Structure 1
Amino acid sequence: MSTTPITVSIERTVDPARIAEATAWMQTGINLATHYPGFLGSGWVRAGADSTTWHMLYRFSDAAALLEWEQSPERSWWLESGSGFVSEQKTERRTGIEGWFDEPTEVMVEFAGAVSEAPPRWKQATTIWLGFFPLNLVFTYLVTWLVPGWDALAILPRVLITTLCLTPIMTYFLLPAITRALRRWLAPAR
Structure 2
Amino acid sequence: MDNTPITVSIERTVDPARIAEATAWMQTGINLATGYPGFLGSGWVRAGPNTTTWHMLYRFTDAAALSHWEQSPERAWWLQSGSGFAREKRSERRTGIEGWFDEPTEVTVEHTGGVDDVPPRWKQAVTIWLGFFPLNLLFTYLVTMLVPGWDLLPLVVRVLLTTVCLTPVMVYALLPLVTRTLRRWLTPSR
1:40 is aligned to 2:31: no
Deviations, residues 123-171 of structure 1 (Å, cap 9, x unaligned): xxxxxxxxxxxxxxxxxxxxxxxxxxxxxxxxxxxxxxxxxxxxxxxxx
Q: Distance in 2 between matches of 1:77 and 1:98?
A: 30
Q: Distance in 1 between matches of 2:28 and 2:96?
A: 28
What corresponds to 2:76 in structure 1?
Answer: 76
CA shift, 1:13, in A, is: 0.2
Which AA in structure 1 matches 2:42?
S
Q: Distance in 1 between matches of 2:22 and 2:89?
A: 15
Other structure's SS at 2:89 match = strand
Q: Distance in 1 between matches of 2:101 and 2:72?
A: 25
Structure 1's unaligned 5+ residue stretches are: 103-190
Deviating beyond 3 angstroms after TM superposition, the runs of 4 or more aligned structure 1 residues are: none
Matches within 5 A, 1:36-185: 36-96=36-96, 98-101=98-101
What corresponds to 2:182 in structure 1?
Answer: none
CA shift, 1:100, in A, is: 2.1
Percent identity among equivalent residues? 84
Other structure's SS at 1:83 match = coil
Other structure's SS at 2:24 match = helix
CA shift, 1:6, in A, is: 0.2
CA shift, 1:99, in A, is: 2.6
Deviations, residues 20-72 of structure 1 (Å, cap 9, x unaligned): 00000000000000000000000000000111000000000000000000000
Change (3 A) 1:100 1:85: same
CA shift, 1:96, in A, is: 2.4
Number of aligned residue pairs: 102
Q: Distance in 1 between matches of 2:99 and 2:85?
A: 30
Which AA in structure 2 matches 1:88?
E
CA shift, 1:97, in A, is: 6.1
What corresponds to 1:19 in structure 2?
Answer: 19
Alignment check: 8 A CA contact 2:5 2:97 kept? no
Change (3 A) 1:35 1:43: same
Instruction: Report the TM-score, using the length of structure 1 for normalisation.
Output: 0.52
CA shift, 1:2, in A, is: 1.7
Other structure's SS at 1:23 match = helix
Q: Distance in 1 between matches of 2:64 and 2:101?
A: 19
Q: Distance in 1 between matches of 2:55 and 2:95?
A: 18
Structure 2's unaligned 5+ residue stretches are: 103-190
Other structure's SS at 1:84 match = coil
Instruction: Report the TM-score, using the length of structure 2 for normalisation.
Output: 0.52
Which AA in structure 2 matches 1:24?
A
